[in-house]
Chains A and B, each alone.
Chain A
Amino acid sequence: MPELSDKNPENWNQLRKKIIGLGETSLRKSHYPAFQQRQAENETIRMISELFLDVELLEDVLKRLPQFLSERFKYPLAAITLINKHTGRLEIISKTDNFETNPDIPDEELIVEISSQTVATGTTKIIGKSSITEKHETNGKDQKLLRIVCAPLKTKLQCIGTILLADIKDKPETESGINTLKVIANYLAQEINRKQTETELQETNRELSDYVYIVTNFLKNPLFTIKGYLYTIKDEPESLNEHFDRIIFQADKMIGVLEKLVQLSRAGKLKLRKETIEVSSHIQAVFNLIKPEDIRVKLNIENDIPSIRVDQGSIIQIFSSLLQNSIDFADPDKDELIINISGYETSSRTHLNISDNGLGIKPAIIEKVFNPGFTMGKKTGAGFGLAIAKKLMDAHGGRISIYSGGEKQGTEFQLHFPK
């Protein structure tokens, strides 16, 4: 406001004109609802951006988002689905806790189905009770009164997943509520995309340093050994025959490591051709190939193992790595090595267990077994098998985990495949 005390007539006149009110710049009051919506969006975006700043791992951010969205949009159920980059399929990444316990809310299959349609059309979908009722009728389940809103997570280039909100009451969704959800979904998509790229870059960096480690530890030593033999031969040419086989042995070792390295780097970029695979016959075939002469091995494969959808080349490599691991770490104090294979399925996943009665793994190092080049003083191989198996499982959108009771307590691998 112009100061009046300077008694400048020009200022007085200007202020008087402003008071009369011609040429004022304020918005109409009727803009309040639009303003309120914008304010709510800004506030939500601010909170999400804080979440992304505070929480380092994308995984952890995604875990917290459903609860946040559920509170923000006042829907009891919220879930986030993302497209798995390797399989191209939508997966439920996280959801509110009430998911498992509340029979009134849609099952995972339904969420994935609605999300797939939403991603395909790229538009926010509101589903009232009728279509859900239909869906449940075909499932033979009870009719439910449900309200589902599904918004695509769209970046500039693509759809990467969905936000899904559901309520057991069929409350009408306001247009401004939907618009806000769209704005939030777009923002969230960008942030997730950015964090994913960041994570991938970090992963690549880590792999690069893994490779440097592998090269220095697994290629340098044989190379020095070869160099040593060559000097000896130079001084005593007659020892050539004696050292020749040793040189060849070291060179073969290096070639072996290099081949594994190539497999490992390929495993992440492989184009997968998924087909339905019968598990027991494949495991049996792999086992026949690598069965050792010097120890007794009993392979028990359960009868009712469900089939899995995987890339055949990859699954053979995975089975071979895991069986080889059991053979390598058989307990010499036991009469025979027993390997048990079992499996079961849930609505969205197939699970395989491969357990043995071998040496087991100390809890202290169990975390490291999937690192490339990790060995536990075993004679053959260079410690790449499990690293390759893990990378192949990741590429399938699956997971591999390891359990052991400790030393001499055997080892169990669990494989989880998406359907």
Chain B
Amino acid sequence: MNKPLELRKFVAPEFIFGTGALEMTGRYAKNLGGEKALIVTDPGVIEAGWADKVIASLNEQSIPYTVFSEVTPNPKDFEVMKGAEVFSAEECNLIVTVGGGSPMDCAKGIGVVSSNGGYILDYEGVDMISNPIPPIICIPTTAGTSADVSQFAIIADIPNKTKIAIISKMLVPDVALVDPETTTTMDSYLTACTGMDALTHAIEAYVSNASSPVTDLLALNAIRLISGNLIKAIENPFDLTYRTPMMLGSLEAGLAFSNASLGAVHAMAHSLGGLMDLPHGECNAILLEYVVDYNFESSAERYSGIAEAFGINISGISNVQKKNQLVDRIRTFRKNAGILKSLHDIGVNPDSIGALSENAYKDPCLVTNPAEPTLNDIKELYARAIG
């Protein structure tokens, strides 16, 4: 247990986990005083039919709604502003968001602007939101991002080609309805990417210098659940036997990282998402093994715990061996999940390393990374991941 005397708190929303949780949307909307709901979602989720299920549940309680679906992956500042306009114009007083990380982060941004005015990018940073935001109900449809339980919102800053992090207790949703069934419509590559994102959350939370005994418990169990079920969930997309533990693993990882924060993988992935609009999960999946390799020494004991959670037998082997085995295991796991590309393959070339590293170096996620990388260290990490 690290620094047992340091104060820690744990913030989590009320959440309902299990098949059918989605159908409680209407009741919660009513309990939260919803008079008109803004449904924030994206075209993919609408096509998969989950938005309609949410609407049916709201209809049951006769709660009127407006749908806002102009959200793209890596939600953009102007999309948030547009949504906030719709929220005010339609006189909504509650937000229901159904989808992956993008609609959920966008929904949080809409809430911030509707209550605080100004431009969404004004609220970059920690604890910068002064007015309470409208009630938010989150219904995740991926087992990865965990925006449904976190106090984070990541928004793309288009003018500056970067991503900003807004961190505030205000961003914790009022209720998360975590329904594993919603993840059955993900294709195998999305399942892989979001699963690797969740795994990264768990690992970075566990080694974070802001972790606590409660986040440790959740993070380690999340690693066990994800490492044990991701590949099977990809192979059997409609089987809830694997989807359910994946969703639970993602939820636990989310609760852990929301309170312990993240590390260098996310700092570097945010930079890639901001500068080149690359998918978040895929970036994390590629970067994870390089950062584990770099960080291992600074927190060998914690990484050994992670290796154990992966099922690696670590008794009687040296730290270097542990590190190599863990990095190997993560690499194999990524490949088995079907993520075979390098950063180079997804369009990152060495010319961008300077700008990417500068942005990653400013990302607040870096503060809780166990090692304190220099700017050069980050450049080197990018170079290795480009391959």
Interface residues of A (CB under 8 A from B): 1, 3-5, 12, 15-16, 18-22, 24-33, 35-36, 39
A4-B362, A5-B361, A19-B126 are known contacts. Are A29 and B210 too (CB-CB below 8 A)? no
Identify which of B42-50, B128-136, B318-326, B335-343 touches chain A. B128-136
List the B side residues contacting A15 at CB < 8 Å.
Answer: 126, 364, 367
Q: Which residue of A lies closest to B115 (CB)?
A: A35
Q: Contact between B368 and A19 (Cβ–Cβ < 8 Å)?
A: yes
Q: Quick check: is B344 within 8 A (CB to CB) of the other chain?
A: no
Task: Say whether B125 contacts A1, CB under 8 Å.
Answer: yes
A19-B131 CB under 8 A given contacts A4-B366, A24-B168, A36-B93:
no
A22 closest partner in B (C-beta)? B7
Q: Would you call B167 an interface residue if the criterion is a C-beta within 8 Å of the partner chain's C-beta atoms?
A: yes
A22 to B361, CA, bound (A): 24
The complex places the Cα of A18 from the Cα of B368 at a distance, in Å, of 11
**Is residue B170 within 8 Å, beta carbon to beta carbon, of the partner chain?**
yes
How far apart are B260's CB and chain A's nearest CB, in angstroms?
A: 8
The answer to whether B115 and A32 have CB atoms under 8 Å apart is: yes
Instruction: Determine the distance from Cα of A12 to Cα of B372 in the docked complex, in whole angstroms.
Output: 10
Given A19-B367, A32-B132: A24 and B169 within 8 A (CB)? yes
Q: Chain B residues near A20: list those with CB within 8 A.
A: 7-9, 210, 261
Q: From DSSP, what is the main secondary structure of chain B's interface residues? A: loop
Judge whether B90 is part of the interface by a CB distance below 8 angstroms: no
Determine the chain A residues whose CB is within 8 A of the CB of B259 once the complex forms. Answer: 21
For residue B11, CB closer than 8 A to chain A, the reply is yes
Q: How far is it, in angstroms, between the C-alpha of A30 and the C-alpha of B172 when the chains are bound?
A: 12
CB pair B209–A16 under 8 Å, yes or no, is: yes
Task: Judge whether B77 is part of the interface by a CB distance below 8 angstroms.
Answer: no
Binding site secondary structure of chain A: helix
- Write out, one digit per residue, whether chain B residues 156-179 have a CB within 8 A of any chain A CB (1) or not (0): 000000000001111010100000
Q: Which residue of chain B has the shortest Cβ distance to A21 in the bound complex? A: B9
Nearest Cβ on chain B to A40's Cβ, whole angstroms: 10
Across-interface contacts of B367 in A (CB, < 8 A): 4, 12, 15-16, 19
Bound Cα distance from A27 to B129, whole angstroms: 9
10 nearest CB pairs, A to B:
A1-B125, A18-B126, A24-B127, A32-B132, A31-B132, A16-B367, A19-B261, A20-B210, A15-B367, A29-B132
When A1-B124, A22-B7, A22-B9 are in contact, do A35 and B364 touch as well, CB less than 8 Å?
A: no
In the complex, are the beta carbons of B132 and A28 less than 8 A apart? yes
Query: B206: shortest Cβ distance to chain A, in Å?
Result: 16
A20 to B9, CA, bound (A): 7
Report B1 CB to chain A, min CB distance, Å: 16
Q: Mark B90-113, 1 if CB is under 8 A from A, else 0.
A: 000100000000000000000000
Q: Knowing that A21-B11, A22-B7 are A-B contacts, what are 10 other residue pairs whose CB atoms are under 8 Å apart, sorted by A's residue number?
A: A1-B364, A4-B363, A5-B358, A16-B368, A19-B210, A21-B259, A24-B169, A31-B132, A35-B131, A36-B93
* Complex A-B: 25 CB contacts under 8 Å: A1-B125, A5-B375, A15-B126, A15-B367, A16-B209, A16-B367, A19-B126, A19-B261, A19-B364, A20-B8, A20-B9, A20-B261, A22-B7, A26-B169, A26-B170, A27-B131, A27-B132, A27-B170, A29-B132, A29-B133, A29-B174, A32-B115, A32-B133, A36-B134, A39-B115
The answer, yes or no, to whether B33 is at the interface (CB within 8 Å) is yes
Chain A residue with Cβ nearest B260: A20
A32 in complex: contacting residue of B129, B134, B209, B366, CB < 8 Å: B134
Residues of A within 8 A of B133 (CB): 29, 32
Name the residue of chain A whose CB is nearest to the CB of B258: A21
- Residues in A with CB closer than 8 Å to B209 are 16
A29 to B170, CA, bound (A): 6
In the bound complex, how far is the Cα of B115 from the Cα of A33, in angstroms? 11
Evaluate whether A27 and B130 lie within 8 angstroms (CB atoms) in the complex, with A15-B367, A20-B210, A33-B33 already known. yes
Interchain CA distance A33-B174 in the complex, whole Å: 14
User: What chain B residues lie within 8 Å of A16 (beta carbons)?
Assistant: 209-210, 367-368
Most buried by B among A1, A3, A4, A15: A1
| A32 / chain B contacts, CB cutoff of 8 Å | 115, 132-135
